[in-house]
Amino acid sequence: MAHTIVIFGASGDLTSRKLIPALYQLDQKNRLPADTQVIGVSRSEFTDDAWRASLAESTQKFAARDFNEAAWSKFAQRVFYQPGDIGTPEDFTALDDRLRQLEGESAATRIYYLSTLPRLYPEAVARLGAAGLAGEEHGQRRIVIEKPIGTDLASAHSLNEAIHRVFQEHQVYRIDHYLGKETVQNMLVLRFANSIFEPIWNRNYIDHVQITVAEEVTVGRRGGYYDTSGVLRDMFQNHLLQLMMITAMEAPVRYEADLVRDEKVKV
């Protein structure tokens, strides 16, 4: 069975800086199925080889310690590019044809990763549905939505409604990539599984909490995103609030996604 990861916004900063280096490192550690393939979709007119060459340069930069020419060449053979515009229905038909060509006639699992401007999320989801790319008749279909999930409560509800018109809830992953940082992932273990800190992690012993985000990355190529979102919505509304909630939340009854989320919301 083929396993396909489709990245929309393939020419963007997140793809070259985070997504492809992470997938390459997983592949290098044999943590991806051997028949996993990656297809990038964006408006830029790349060929497969041109996109691979661009990604080799960025991956060598952002995964420098783990970069190996032979390992990259092996991984890159399963990396493909499909030009496409989210606003053009015909491009989703072309994407469907390309996916069928690469996957063959057998069932396949797919992950659609929206690494695009947030304002394009509803249209991208609708186009996937209209092209018949969301149904699970021939294998699992999942969609990954990057933060921000809306800019306020009303827009978050609106986005969720748009998603649920096409995908069922079990198909949807909403992510904040700060939660993937090693220190953040270890925070709950540090707090609740450590007999030294757990009894004193409360207002009686902690004077204040200071969260420092020591970012060195500039706006770079993300000017269009920052023009509409701004730094408060980019950093404070999600990254910093997530860190605050993990720092202050009570222990969930069980470590399941819904229960952890419910404890976060109480903060």
Dihedrals φ, ψ of 48, to 5°? -55, -50
Question: Does residue 42 come out as left (phi exceeding 0), alpha (psi in the -120 to 50 range) or beta?
Answer: beta
CA distance 240 to 236: 5
* 208 is known as an active-site residue: no
Q: What is the dihedral of CA 115, 121, 126, 127, to 10 degrees?
A: -40
Q: Check: CB of residue 208 under 8 Å from CB of residue 201.
A: no
Out of 138, 164, 170, 239, the active site residue is 239
Give the N- to C-terminal CA distance of the chain in Å, as an integer.
43
Q: Check: CB of residue 220 under 8 Å from CB of residue 12.
A: no
DSSP assigned state of 10:
T
Catalytic residues: 239
